[in-house]
Amino acid sequence: MFQQIWWLDPELTYGNAKPFVFTQGHSVCNRSFFPCFDTPAVKCTYSATVKAPAGIQVLMSATQSTYSEQEGVYQFYMEYPVPAYLVALVAGDLIPADIGPRSRVWAEPCLLPAAISKLSGMVERWLSAAESLYGPYIWGRYDIVFLPPSFPIVAMENPCLTFIISSILESDEFLIIDVIHEVAHSWFGNAVTNATWEEMWLSEGLATYAQRRITTETYGAAFTCLETAFRLDALHRQMKLLGEDNPVSKLQVKLEPGVNPSNLMNLFTYEKGYCFVHYLSQLCGDPKHFDSFLRAYIEKYKFTSVVAQDLLDSFLNFFPELKEQCVERKEEAVPKSQASCRDSCSTFLMLLVPGLEFERWLNATGPPLAEPDLSQGSSLTRPVETLYSLWTTEPLDAVAAASSVDITKWRTFQTVLFLDRLLDGSPLPHEVIKKLSESYSSQLDSMNAEIRIRWLQIVVRNDYYPDLYKVRCFLENQRSRMYTIPLYEDLCTGTLKSFALEVFYQTQNQLHPNLRKTIQQILSQGLNPLPTIDATAVATDTPAMVLEDKASEATNGAISLRDVNVSA
């Protein structure tokens, strides 16, 4: 049985004051929470009654709620039909703060000021931009709850109540993108849902496209192109490691019986799906015309579940000039005896018409057939490419490289793009890693965790011992799998496994039993099995970990959570 309900002792929370519980239903975990048809093809309304001790705040992904303090009973009701995986509950030491006319944040008391400062006024800005593109926000409130570091993924788009891991709070640009992605799911994924897990791109690809339309409206095209370049870099990294013939690179993936659908979640679901949706927007000639189509698509299918054919049929019907092209070309290509089926055989038309290539997009393995033009981001990406070239061109002129740009003035996505490319080139010549450390290590120490973990992975992959103490300090202060697993994987694929064992045994008690077990499995590779440290550790991996384990099996640990922004 897949684990759905996560019970945390107080010491696994930030405040260390009260116990905490949350659920994570995606993809098929809610069957262990309540009896249900655990498939995205089935939607229904729901109500729930929850009794909790005094001082414990209970929240659910519902449009209505009441609380009887005398009885300690919460009542919840979701008035719109949703698939089972979007039913969610969280309870703990949570307090609220309004950040907009229809939004509030919930967090442990020690985290609330940071959440307010990062998001006050911002969510309404993003919701308004999304509404201008795709029509009214139909869920009423858009609240956010920040969860302890044990939350197994980055974010989850539960309607009315987005779940986000608190660890991401310090990384402003990642926080912005993650929240906007979940906002986009309010239309693509929640209102209109993929009917089968084999077509998750219908939610994730469309949500990623909508996310980037929202960021373009609110932050400009250059920022959107930078973030897209960063993600597509990660996609090609995964493609190189998994191989172009790997079936998981298809948009329509075959789900074998008994396989957790979360195994199918990867960068292709998001980024290849995004590239296909962007391709559709280019076929119609104008992104604003495509926005109009998506508004009509949402209006037609809201509160239902769809397959790819529904989207593509609607697309051709909305743009009759494309459909007419299909008819004309098909009449040239097939005998008249077959022409009578053309109006009802959209798939047949797609297969025959040169240039549309829908069938290849959906069922071919490998990279996207086309990628967006990111030249509008060149003012942000070109400095990254120049700096990387300076550091990797022989003979090295470290003084010139280090003085060419002040990376402390860069955006986070510029810095992580630069570090990711250094990671891809590791191991680097010793002189290069030594000069990189002398030039940047102290500056990177004061930057956010998304940046620091990448530098520390470079340290580990290059066996650079002078900075190894920073790896220890980082792991001693991190309890999230997104910031621990990648380092332990890298430590265990190189010569530093004994160092990894030492750090783990010193820090294991601050980790959730599931994370502890996962790290034990990483450390056990190639060794005698480690002793079981906590008998309560749950054997079944969470969706995020299933993805990461699968990637690790395929690549010997070369892909980590840093490569797959595991937000549902």
Known binding-site positions: 181, 185, 204
Chain center to CA of 236: 16
Token readout for 281 is 């927007």
385 has catalytic annotation: no
CA dist 491 and 501 (Å) reads: 9
270 has catalytic annotation: yes
Binding residues for Zn(2+) are 181, 185, 204
Residues 6+ apart with CB under 8 A from 335: none
**CB-CB contact of 565 with 154 (8 Å):** yes
How would you classify residue 61: left for phi > 0, otherwise alpha for psi between -120 and 50, otherwise beta? Answer: beta
Residue in 108, 157, 182, 450 annotated catalytic:
182
Q: What angle do CA 166, 169, 174 make, to 5 degrees?
A: 115
Residue in 46, 74, 134, 270 annotated catalytic:
270
Strands (E) across 245-378 are located at 304-306
Strands 161-165 and 143-147: parallel
**CB-CB contact of 146 with 115 (8 Å):** yes
Long-range contacts of 296-300 (CB under 8 A, 24+ apart): 297/192, 298/134, 298/135, 298/187, 298/188, 298/191, 298/192, 299/135
Query: Residue 554, SS3?
Result: helix
Single-letter amino acid, residue 59 = L
Chain center to CA of 335: 47
Helices (H), 93-190: 112-119, 122-134, 172-185
CA dist 539 and 67 (Å) reads: 36
Q: Using alpha carbons, select from 474, 541, 480, 568 the residue that is nearest to residue 165.
A: 480
Residues 6+ apart with CB under 8 A from 439: 398, 401, 402
Q: Using alpha carbons, select from 188, 230, 231 the residue that is nearest to residue 207.
A: 188
Q: Which residues are catalytic?
A: 182, 270
